[in-house]
């Protein structure tokens, strides 16, 4: 499968050369963007599989634009820079940049770096989804514990009986245990 690339490079001659290198490596450059472009709008319109940035040194505006892209239309972003200061590198990592390569774009390593960036992007997305599921599960357990505690306190039930009572009520109503527990807590809050 040919991957579609949006190339960001403010130097037209260099962008042309980089585009040729990418195409030799099996990528299809669907758009070239220089400085000052509305990157988010271009990414939304062109819908590339990957964004490749080739710059001497990224500035705060670019990092901010890439952060917006990553938040609203996530896709792998690979940045090749001639130089990189620690603060910019930390900012790039913080926004979820898939790869940040200092020492510029070298034709012989473009394909490998981009593939690593894509793999890192996929792994990051998988881990983020796993984190969201774990956080939701934790919140559900907390609300069930709260509801169970309320039943224990107000009805004088032991822990096991309170849990079985909640579970039976949820089953009788065709609800998830966490949803029923949330209702129990909400009702208790109304009565307090």
Residue the block writes with tokens 């559900």: 140
Q: Is the pLDDT of residue 99 over 80?
A: yes
- Phi/psi at 94 (5° precision): -60, -35
Q: What percent of the chain clears pLDDT 70, i.e. is strictly above it? A: 98
C-alpha 119/C-alpha 170 separation (Å) is 42
User: Mind listing the pLDDT tens digit for each residue in 8-66?
Assistant: 888 888 888 888 888 988 899 999 888 667 888 889 999 999 999 888 777 788 888 88
Mean pLDDT of all residues in 166-174: 95
For 184, the token pair is: 């129990």
- Phi/psi at 96 (5° precision): 90, 25
Domains assigned to the chain:
3-105 (3.40.50.2300), 131-191 (1.10.10.10)
pLDDT at site 173: 96
The dihedral built from the CA positions of residue 177, 180, 184 and 186, taken in this order, carries a sign that is positive
What one-character DSSP code corresponds to residue 49? S
Q: Is the pLDDT of residue 83 over 80?
A: no
C-alpha 149/C-alpha 157 separation (Å) is 9
Q: Please state the pTM of the whole predicted model.
A: 0.74
pLDDT at site 56: 77
What one-character DSSP code corresponds to residue 175? -
Contact of 5 with 50, CB cutoff 8 Å: yes
Q: How far is CA 34 from the centre of its chain?
A: 25
For residue 30, give every residue at least 6 positions away whose Cβ sits within 8 Å of its Cβ, in sequence order, or none: 4, 5, 6, 46, 48
């Amino acid at each position: 499968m040919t991957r579609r690339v949006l190339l960001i490079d403010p130097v037209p001659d260099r962008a042309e050369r980089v585009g040729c290198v990418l195409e030799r490596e099996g990528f299809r450059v669907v758009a070239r963007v220089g400085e000052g472009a509305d990157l988010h709008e271009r990414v939304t319109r062109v819908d590339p599989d990957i964004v490749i940035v080739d710059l001497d040194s990224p500035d705060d505006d670019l990092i901010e634009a890439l952060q917006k892209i990553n938040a609203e239309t996530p896709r792998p972003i690979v940045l090749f820079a001639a130089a990189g200061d620690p603060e910019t590198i930390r900012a790039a990592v913080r926004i979820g940049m898939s790869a940040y390569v200092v020492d510029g774009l070298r034709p012989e390593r473009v394909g490998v770096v981009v593939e690593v960036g894509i793999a890192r992007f996929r792994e990051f997305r998988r881990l983020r989804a796993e984190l969201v599921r774990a956080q939701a599960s934790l919140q559900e357990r907390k609300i069930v514990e709260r509801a169970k505690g309320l039943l224990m306190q107000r009805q004088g039930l032991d822990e096991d009986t309170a849990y079985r009572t909640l579970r039976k009520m949820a089953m009788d109503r065709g609800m998830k245990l966490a949803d029923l527990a949330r209702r129990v807590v909400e009702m208790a809050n109304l009565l307090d």
